Amino acid sequence: MTQGLRAYIDKFPSLRVAVVGDFIADEFIHGDTSRISREAPVIVLDFNSREILPGGGGNAAMNTASLGGGVSAIGALGADPNGEALKQVLSRGGVGTGSLYLEGERFTPTKMRIMAGGRNTSRQQVIRVDHERQLPMSSSLEARVLDALEALPGEGVNALIVSDYGLGVVTDAVREIVGRLAGKMIVSVDSRHGADAFKGVTAITPNEEEVEALVGYVPDEARLDEAGNTLLERTGARAVLITRGSKGMSVFENEGGRTDIPVYGSDEAADVTGAGDTVIAAFTLSLASGASVPEAAEIANRSAGLVVMKRGTAVVYRDELLGTLEED
């Protein structure tokens, strides 16, 4: 089996992928613990450094690039320091940003994490502050996003990833075009709030909590089949890939039943931040390379097993993924 998987991974550099949706700035503030404040019973951090990393659709795009695929971003950011910094980081990571628009009336969604530690200890996240709210796009900005999507087939794009965090980029008009594009290329959807609003796409990739929100009950082992098949029926998707944490993944196909894939590597994850973005990037590239749904899920599972052993918002590299095949 591993030789077959290698053949698909070897095709990644020949593929072109677009990512549309919500691009988020993951801001990390690093500090050294020094003392307890006299103002309140909280620790005081001595500021060390600050960095902006791509989250949301940005992390999916960065993982696509690190796995070898050509990738471009379609979306909207605020014309603010975080938006400009995020766009620069994406460009340096090999992501095309010509259709990632900055607009003065918007602000860039930001998740700020305060990381504390000492000289001889690893840094731990002590608090997260989210600057997020849904902002509808202006009509002119939405038109630019729609035009960029409409142009994808003529640009030789093989696959589209939709990263929908409910922050205003994925509108009804965007969903309509996404549905049409599904007849021309691989379309994978990662939606935090409404994956079942996408009809006829190739695949959706919810986690267990998102499945519960969609179907209205806990997708435990007794009802997992029911949940997976319900989502297949609602969406008309070719596949539903449910990520299940330490239990690995379960993938449902509209023609092939259910396949369970145990977690790859250790089930003691160091950090699950952004793991879903890695999954959808690897899964989409694999489908676009000709892999079957179970084969694509196996490649995505290996990618997830690698990325959760890295702290913070991270990516998996193609050489690392190929290295997992050498171990078998």
Catalytic residues: 277
Interatomic CA distance for residues 241 and 238, integer angstroms: 10
How many residues in the chain? 328
Q: Which residues in the chain belong to E strands, given as ranges? A: 16-21, 23-36, 43-56, 70-78, 95-103, 110-117, 124-131, 159-164, 186-191, 203-204, 239-243, 249-253, 257-261
Q: Which residues pair with 112 in a beta bridge?
A: 27, 129
Q: Which residue has the tokens 């998996």?
A: 316
Position 325, amino acid: L
Q: Are strands 23-36 and 43-56 parallel, antiparallel or unpaired?
A: antiparallel
Axis crossing angle, helix 293-307 with helix 275-288, rounded to the nearest 10: 150
Three-state secondary structure of 117-144: ECCCCCCEEEEEEEECCCCCCCHHHHHH
**All residues at 6 or more sequence positions from 301 whose CB lies less than 8 Å from its CB, including other chains:** 248, 249, 261, 263, 264, 279
Three-state secondary structure of 3-67: HHHHHHHHCHHHCEEEEEECEEEEEEEEEEEEEECCCCCCEEEEEEEEEEEEEEHHHHHHHHHHC
